[in-house]
Amino acid sequence: MSVRQALVRRGAAAVAVAAACGAVSTMAPGLAAGKLDLAAGRHGAPQQAQLLGAQRGPAAAPPRKINCAKVKCIALTFDDGPVSGTDKLLKILAKRHVRATFFLVGQNAKAHPDLVRKELAAGHEVGNHSYTHADLTRLSSAGIKSEITKTQTAIRKASGFTPHLLRPPYGSTNSRVAAVTKRLGMPQIIWAVDPLDWRDRNSATVERRVIKAARPGYIVLMHDIHPTTVNAVPTILSRLAAKGYVFVTVSELFGRPLKPGKTYAHR
Ligand code: NI
């Protein structure tokens, strides 16, 4: 078998995996599967990503076509990983067929390339959260660019996927950060709900704050580096699903290209 044939066969296997695990959350009442176009693309397939690198495109699942103008969508986002505890969160999300968005710190992506691939293979979106979790507003333009591009490289080396979205650490941004991210072609994704889970390491508190503040079209900030947050996720998913929410990635939430450099906190 030629190398090319082997790659084609791997590609076919990847599509089969996508079909098997591409189900949308079954927790959302009233959301008929027929409304969703579950396009199976190059979903997962870390081996393929390693072989092909960025030349043949990302290992990421394409966004599902969910009309969040009509559907009660919410985008859960998890920052600062990946860390070893991320694996537990991935299991929780997989069990409920929920997709989320992970904003990765580049040095953690470099340390845990297997978890970067797992996130993408599960259909989650992966974004850039700088390399060292720096406050980008305190850096020069060159410094900002370095924090972002080093992270792009770490994620690409781990998975073959290059992120489209940036979340500036602390949500801290200014005109200089906007100019650099515009040049790099990346929109800035902030949030509409912040349960302060990094400060209050109490699962019940995190659950209560997220559930209370949730609104359709919102982006929710959480941190998978805190076990108390990971342990809050099952209840958050159950309670929000009972209210009719559908869990989507950030790209799915907007369903349209976002403007590089611009800041988004909700749909
Ligand atoms: Ni952060």
pLDDT tens digits, one per residue of 8-34:
333 333 333 333 333 333 333 333 333
Contact 28, 248 (CB under 8 A): no
- Give the C-alpha separation, 94 to 124, whole Å: 10
pLDDT at position 219, please? 98
Q: How confident is the model at residue 242, as a pLDDT?
A: 98
Q: Give pLDDT tens digits for 30-65.
A: 333 333 333 333 333 334 344 444 433 345 788 899
Cα 47 to ligand 1 centre (Å): 29
pLDDT of residue 83: 98
CATH code where residue 122 lies: 3.20.20.370
According to DSSP, the residues that pair with 246 across neighbouring strands are 73
What is the pLDDT at residue 228?
98
Contact between 250 and 115 (Cβ < 8 Å): no
> Which residues face 220 on adjacent strands?
76, 193
Q: For residues 226 and 202, give the distance between their C-alpha atoms in angstroms, rounded to a whole number.
A: 10
pLDDT confidence of residue 63 = 87
Domain tally, the chain: 1
pLDDT in tens, 233-265: 999 999 999 999 999 999 999 999 999 999 999
What average pLDDT does this structure show over 197-221?
Answer: 98
Q: With 90 as the cut, is the pLDDT of residue 202 above it?
A: yes
**According to the model, what pLDDT value does residue 61 have?**
83
Q: Nearest to residue 129, comparing CAs of 76, 184, 189?
A: 189
Beta bridge partners of 37: 65
Q: Please confirm, yes or no, whether 223 is among the known catalytic residues.
A: yes
CA distances from 207 to 75, 101, 237, 266 (A): 15, 18, 9, 20
Catalytic residue among 43, 223, 224, 226: 223
- CA-based angle 239:165:46, to the nearest 5? 85
Confidence (pLDDT) at 57: 39
Q: Is the pLDDT of residue 91 over 50?
A: yes
User: What's the CA-to-centroid distance between 79 and ligand 1, angstroms?
Assistant: 5
**Residue range(s) defining the domain that contains residue 121:** 3-264
| pLDDT higher at 51 or 197 | 197
- The rounded Å distance from CA 134 to ligand 1 centre is 9
Task: Give 92-143 pLDDT, tens digit per residue.
Answer: 999 999 999 999 999 999 999 999 999 999 999 999 999 999 999 999 999 9
Distance 49 CA to ligand 1 centre (A): 27
Mention every residue, 6+ apart, whose C-beta is less than 8 A from residue 5: none
Tokens representing 41 are 């693309």
Q: Which pLDDT value is given to residue 59?
A: 59
**Does residue 172 surpass a pLDDT of 90?**
yes
Catalytic residue among 79, 80, 197, 224: 79
